[in-house]
Structure 1
């Protein structure tokens, strides 16, 4: 079947809907990306045009298709211990302060790779006596679908390529036979991570305070005004002196909350 074209009008309607509903920003330069991410879905639903798809996701009775569109437009590569320097910095901070209580928030957790990476590190530091047993990890995302997957904690083995052999043995189970090539995070670790749905572009109830917040590789989907608002909204949940992580390539986002830069993508709330 030939590729279904995306008209400028349909693209503009999709872009407006995504921005008004969840804060996502799609400039005209991203039209080809939107087309590539969604056209297969249009085909699978048996729709003849993108106009039909837009009418579907704009309707109140969309059968969950709007959320599916959000998922398709925001899914990016993720893996355990991505941007390792941030985990090294956090570990050094914890070895210095040796906290008895610690609360961490993975604010754009996607499929849970980041949250479980943090949990692995904290479990190991607890075992060594560096941190106390009273630690917690909260992982949130706008997508209910990816959160449901994250709760299961099952991943292709390649996603854990940065996990050491010792950590794999302690914290994971390798699949066999029909599950060969898959790895599942052990239940003892999965129980330490709470998952919940949250839209960062809407007011956030008091869910903190947190000592560490990761907000990595999600701001690229927002325009400049939305980025600043999201960062300030998230930082309201961070304790003074707490650590805040953005994606290394995202740079420093202008915000009202005073931050001290520690390393690329790493900050301390002042």
Structure 2
């Protein structure tokens, strides 16, 4: 791959693109890493230069390829059914929340939609089994317009679905062939259950909720301590009393003033 030139200017374009759209930060020391991760993909697609590939990534209609590039440049930090014990807890608890008003779930830092679509698969299973009714909804929000465009397309690199059971893959997914080999498209019955919207958690927001379940996993790392408290309490104001709140297991204690009870690591119940 040494014959594929990667200039400082091209590195900066990719770094700016990844930071602006997905919050990924690459300093100058990461230039060789980006070259080694993307060069094979660029040559496989038949591009003769980094500049041509970057132009493709900057085209918002190429959201699926942008997501592929993000995957190549990260260690797959987001994937379907991440932290499976959280979904086991949901499977136990959601039927208890079910009522005539329906069930509402908010994925508050949804990224490419892995979390929201995983929840949609679980809730569709529960509905099929008669454990919850059909009146449920999932809202997925993120600050990045580009990430949301990709999420709405619901096309994912196959590895991102490695924790999805074979039964769910058959019921809810279509495997790509030919040029789309290695990618998976979610079926409409899952895509249609998730509503996406752009939202900055650091600014006041209204007109949402209340929710039975809120995910706020693996996003607080980007905020300073006072902002963390402000964001978490604002988000929790939209959680119904007794509702479930999820952080990433490795994030530890919840930075907030709202009374919460720990259920399992990373999962909390709002005081009634």
Describe how 1:58-207 pairs up with structure 2 within 5 A: 77-100=77-100, 101-207=102-208
| 8 Å Cα contact 2:116-2:140 kept in structure 1 | yes
1:177-197 CA-to-partner distances (Å, cap 9, x unmatched) read 221111101012111100010
| 8 Å Cα contact 2:97-2:212 kept in structure 1 | no
Of residues 106-115 and 220-229 in structure 1, the stretch that sits farther from structure 2 once superposed is: 220-229
| 8 Å Cα contact 1:115-1:139 kept in structure 2 | yes
1:155-204 CA-to-partner distances (Å, cap 9, x unmatched) read 01111011111111111111112211111010121111000100000001
2-side partners of 1:132 and 1:2: how far apart?
Answer: 54
- Which SS does the other structure have where 1:196 is aligned? strand
2-side partners of 1:249 and 1:3: how far apart?
Answer: 37
Q: CA deviation at 1:255?
A: 1.0
1:97-137 CA-to-partner distances (Å, cap 9, x unmatched) read 54451000000000000000000000010000111100000
2-side partners of 1:38 and 1:115: how far apart?
Answer: 33
- Which SS does the other structure have where 1:195 is aligned? strand
1:10-34 CA-to-partner distances (Å, cap 9, x unmatched) read xxxx9xxx9xx9xx8x9xxx8xx54
| 8 Å Cα contact 1:227-1:253 kept in structure 2 | no
Q: 1:99 to 1:88 in 2, by over 3 A?
A: farther
Q: Structure 2 unaligned runs (5+)? A: 10-15, 35-49, 52-59, 61-65
Q: TM-score, normalised by structure 1?
A: 0.74
2-side partners of 1:153 and 1:78: how far apart?
Answer: 14
Q: Structure 1 unaligned runs (5+)? A: 6-13, 46-63
Q: 1:234 to 1:97 in 2, by over 3 A?
A: closer
Describe how 1:35-54 pairs up with structure 2 within 5 A: 35=28
Indicate the residue corresponding to 1:208 in structure 2: 209
Indicate the residue corresponding to 1:234 in structure 2: 235
2-side partners of 1:213 and 1:227: how far apart?
Answer: 16
Indicate the residue corresponding to 2:245 in structure 1: 244
| 8 Å Cα contact 1:80-1:161 kept in structure 2 | yes
Supply the RMSD in Å over aligned alpha carbons. 3.3
Q: CA deviation at 1:253?
A: 2.3
Q: TM-score, normalised by structure 2?
A: 0.74
Q: CA deviation at 1:226?
A: 0.9
| Paired residue total | 227
